[in-house]
Chains A and B, each alone.
Chain A
Amino acid sequence: DVKVTQSSRYLVKRTGEKVFLECVQDMDHENMFWYRQDPGLGLRLIYFSYDVKMKEKGDIPEGYSVSREKKERFSLILESASTNQTSMYLCASGTSGSQRNEQFFGPGTRLTVL
């Protein structure tokens, strides 16, 4: 089974703090994604990566950055956390092969910024 793990299930941070969310997948997938999930808005893509050290902005990249130093690991960074970044963050991975677009999700990190 594909396994996508996220470093924390719940996280509470203060405004202005630098926040790191880690995601690891064990299926050698090329593509990795970070989404935020808010009620009524579904999932919105923050950043994605299609290869090591490669990254692309998604629909809402402002206030976020990412790092992908190894194929299995994709980190989301909030440089200076703000209260409007309180949300559920979901990491996903996928392959570009015959099952392209199919994504496998981690359990999510619920981040609260005070």
Chain B
Amino acid sequence: AQSVTQPDIHITVSEGASLELRCNYSYGATPYLFWYVQSPGQGLQLLLKYFSGDTLVQGIKGFEAEFKRSQSSFNLRKPSVHWSDAAEYFCAVGLKTSYDKVIFGPGTSLSVIP
């Protein structure tokens, strides 16, 4: 069955430090891949997406992610975290089915220490 794993439930980093959030998926083909961010009390906002081509994708707010087919991973990175990055981050896999379903990971909560 298809699934998305985010091994880290909660991460705390200092402001200015680098960040990497992990995401692994299980799917029989190369899926479409997404990272979303959710600020407290808000809906989800798309950070970046991978459909095909270059495996390193750039997103908004200085985030990037790298697709590694051999590891079934799509990790999110940011070189220098800002206090406003504190939020919940969701990795998602888009299934190549006729109904465009998306499976979301359980989320990683990020706290930023000033």
Residue positions of A touching B, CB distance < 8 A:
4, 31, 35, 40-43, 45, 48, 50, 56, 58, 90, 92, 94, 96, 100-108
- What interface size band does chain B fall in? 20 to 34
**With A90-B44, A105-B44 in contact, is A48–B105 under 8 Å at CB?**
no
Contact B32 A101 (CB under 8 A): yes
> In B1-60, which residues have CB < 8 Å from any A CB?
4, 9, 32, 34, 36, 41-46, 49
> In B58-114, which residues have CB < 8 Å from any A CB?
90, 94-95, 99-102, 104-107
Contact A90 B43 (CB under 8 A): yes
**With A43-B90, A48-B99, A56-B99 in contact, is A105–B43 under 8 Å at CB?**
yes
Minimum CB–CB distance from A107 to chain B (whole Å) comes to 5
A88 to B100 Cα, complex, angstroms: 22
Minimum CB–CB distance from B26 to chain A (whole Å) comes to 15
By secondary structure, the A interface counts as: strand
Contact A42 B42 (CB under 8 A): no
A100 partner, pick from B32, B41, B107, beta carbons under 8 A = B32
Q: Which residues of A contact B99 (CB under 8 A)?
A: 31, 48, 50, 56
Residue positions of B touching A, CB distance < 8 A:
4, 9, 32, 34, 36, 41-46, 49, 90, 94-95, 99-102, 104-107
A108 partner, pick from B34, B43, B105, beta carbons under 8 A = B43
Contact B43 A45 (CB under 8 A): no
Q: Which residues of A contact B4 (CB under 8 A)?
A: 42
Minimum CB–CB distance from B62 to chain A (whole Å) comes to 20
